[in-house]
């Protein structure tokens, strides 16, 4: 079972993200990780770009970008960026990019959707290009627990965590001033064997870890046999 539910003011996306919350959330180092992993001026396709929180700084760093998201309300915050409103799983753009970005731990969705996301990455990456992925750090699955942290005016409260095999069901509340959003979602731990197999099934090969916590990594396209 997969469940993703959000509550709070404003529109909530089908995967439970609060649009107004993402619109005020600043980037937290993600653009720098991606920028360092791709060539100068590389074109970047972000799958699940939301309000452009990561994509906008990448455009400012000189990358031609395209953001894809299924939520028109999220994309309404991206009028300064090229975007397409579409589901990632069925996306078929008639072009390839130097880099395809799948950030924001979207890889930790349920396994069938994960494989569909990876196939979309493969369909849109240049033969010499790179896929950049952010997953939940493997150690997060062992350590996530009810907790509270405040940063930059955002109070993040992990209300509950329930573990079931590889899956963690997490409920988080975000408090900003007098506004509160909640997000309940399930996150699937991905073993190294599964990751290798799912990448291979999509026609991708693991590249390298970008961060010591193994949250960020690259993958590259495997040459397809000629027909």
Position 108 contacts ligand SAM (CB under 6 A): no
Among 47-55, 58-66, 166-174, 208-216, which window interacts with ligand SAM (CB under 6 A)? 47-55
Note whether 102 and 131 are within 8 A (CB). Answer: yes
The residue from 9, 36, 72, 87 that contacts ligand SAM (CB under 6 A) is: 87
Give me the least distance between CB of 199 and ligand SAM, in Å please.
19
Note whether 119 and 125 are within 8 A (CB). Answer: no
Q: Which of 38, 227, 32, 33 lies closest to 128 in space, CA to CA?
A: 38
Say which DSSP state 108 is in: G
Among 85-93, 143-151, 171-179, 198-206, which window interacts with ligand SAM (CB under 6 A)? 85-93
- Nearer Cβ to ligand SAM (34/195): 34
- Nearer Cβ to ligand SAM (11/194): 11
Note whether 117 and 135 are within 8 A (CB). Answer: no
Give me the least distance between CB of 226 and ligand SAM, in Å please.
31
Position 48 contacts ligand SAM (CB under 6 A): yes
CA distances from 179 to 16, 20, 126, 144 (A): 16, 10, 43, 24
SS3 9: coil
Contacting residues for 45 by C-beta, under 8 A, at least 6 apart: 65, 66, 67, 68, 93, 97, 99, 100, 101, 124
The residue from 6, 8, 12, 13 that contacts ligand SAM (CB under 6 A) is: 13
Among 84-92, 160-168, 172-180, 217-225, which window interacts with ligand SAM (CB under 6 A)? 84-92
Residues of this chain that bind ligand SAM (CB under 6 A): 13, 15, 17, 22, 48-50, 53-54, 69-71, 74, 87-89, 103-104
């Amino acid at each position: 079972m997969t469940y993703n539910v959000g509550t709070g003011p404003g529109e909530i996306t089908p995967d439970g993200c609060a649009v107004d919350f993402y619109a005020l959330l600043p980037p937290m180092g993600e653009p720098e990780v991606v920028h360092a992993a791709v060539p100068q001026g590389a074109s970047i396709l972000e799958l699940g770009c939301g309000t452009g929180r990561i994509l906008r700084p990448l455009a400012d760093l000189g990358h031609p970008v395209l953001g894809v998201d299924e939520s028109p309300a999220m994309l309404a915050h991206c009028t300064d960026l090229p975007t397409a409103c579409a589901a990632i799983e069925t996306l078929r753009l008639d072009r390839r990019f130097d880099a395809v970005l799948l950030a924001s731990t979207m890889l930790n969705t349920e396994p069938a959707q994960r494989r569909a996301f990876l196939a979309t990455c493969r369909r849109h990456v240049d033969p010499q290009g790179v896929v950049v992925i952010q997953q939940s750090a493997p150690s997060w699955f062992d350590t996530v627990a009810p907790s509270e942290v405040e940063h930059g005016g955002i109070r993040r409260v992990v209300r509950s965590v329930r573990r079931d095999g590889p899956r963690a069901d997490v409920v988080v509340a975000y408090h900003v001033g007098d506004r509160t959003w909640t997000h309940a979602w399930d996150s699937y731990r991905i073993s190294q064997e599964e990751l290798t197999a799912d990448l291979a099934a999509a026609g991708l090969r693991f590249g390298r870890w970008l961060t010591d916590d193994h949250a960020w990594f690259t993958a590259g396209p495997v040459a397809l046999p000629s027909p």
